[in-house]
Structure 1
Amino acid sequence: MAILTGSCRFGLWYVHVTWQDDLVYRVRFARTGLPGPVPDEVVRYCAGRPADLSSFRSIATEGDSTFARIYRAVRAVPRGETVTYGEIARRVGTAPRAVGSAMAKNPTPLVVPCHRVVAKTGLGGFSPDVTIKEALLAIERRERVGGVNR
């Protein structure tokens, strides 16, 4: 099967996804959309409906690099919960700055839910706009409060 690229809406943003079967190569947020398909679970997630993204693999988690280990630790953070950069660093045996660097370079946000990693004193950053991080966390909190935690 060919590698596919498409986008779906997420509020004022579009989520571009490059994927093949269950492997996601890239996810990014942009102001303009791209024609093409997006996995149904991603569309549901972006619409604020219950969706399970755990069945997708990410190219970011492959291998044994420090970043791959960080990305795997972040994937283990339950939906609707947050952890600090320092907590992930302790789990992986690295420094919080390395975790921050990995989050900034995460090629597959949503699949590797970097929005669940926060600073000790606040939200921390998110590219291209921290309001996206706030919206993603709000969706997950609503689902958790509503009794749906996938």
Structure 2
Amino acid sequence: MMGGSCRLGLWHVHVWWSGDTIYRVRFASTGISGPVPAPILKYCAGHAVDLSGLKTVACEGECVSARIYQAVREVPYGSTATYGEIAAQIGTSPRAVGRAMAHNPTPLVVPCHRIVAANGIGGFSPALEIKELLLALEQKGKKASRK
């Protein structure tokens, strides 16, 4: 397994991976040396990149969390869905979706930042500013890809 990080604004995105499978993604204030998969590098640089070609351990199995992560992966780049919409899609509660998002081992690959509350942006760990940055980055990337 390999690990490395790249920049995302003021943050570093740490990625642990092997081949096309992502095992862990986390956000930190400091970087670590090592490689990062090219699609994630391009994504963090602001390019409209489809990360669905990357596999994630989060979607393995048939548990509720895996089904939630699979549904979240279907939310297109530059779009959002609510916790309630994802819950209705797989037959669970919005609270269960929120819990799964809080424990997502591979953010970006499972784009939990695209899941918002019915009346606002919702939460994001470790900092809400990262969710805001990711949503803004995708809006900008979406506009640039239309040109």
Tell me the TM-score range normalised by the shorter chain: over 0.9
C-alpha distance in structure 2 between counterparts of 1:60 and 1:147, whole Å: 29
C-alpha distance in structure 2 between counterparts of 1:140 and 1:20, whole Å: 26
Q: 1:132 aligns with which of 130, 133, 137?
A: 130
- What does residue range 13-92 of structure 1 map to in structure 2 within 5 Å? 13-92=11-90
Q: Cα RMSD between the aligned structures?
A: 0.9
Q: Which amino acid aligns with 1:8?
A: C
Query: Structure 2 stretches of 5 or more lacking a match?
Result: none
Shift of 1:139: 1.3
Shift of 1:73: 0.2
Shift of 1:109: 0.2
Q: Which amino acid aligns with 1:45?
A: Y
Show structure 1 runs of 4+ deviating over 6 A: none
C-alpha distance in structure 1 between counterparts of 2:42 and 2:142, whole Å: 16
Query: Structure 1 stretches of 5 or more lacking a match?
Result: none
Q: CA contact under 8 A between 2:50 and 2:77: conserved in structure 1?
A: no
Give the TM-score taking structure 2 as reference length.
0.96
Shift of 1:144: 2.0
Q: Which amino acid aligns with 1:111?
A: V
**Deviations for 1:100-131, whole angstroms, at most 9, x for unmatched residues?**
00000000000000000000110000011111
Shift of 1:142: 1.5
Q: 1:102 aligns with which of 100, 103, 110?
A: 100
Q: What is the SS of the residue equivalent to 1:94?
A: coil
Give the stretch that moved more between structures: 138-147 or 104-113: 138-147
- What does residue range 113-128 of structure 1 map to in structure 2 within 5 Å? 113-128=111-126
**Deviations for 1:23-77, whole angstroms, at most 9, x for unmatched residues?**
0000000001111100111111111123221110110001100000000000000
Report the count of equivalent residues.
146
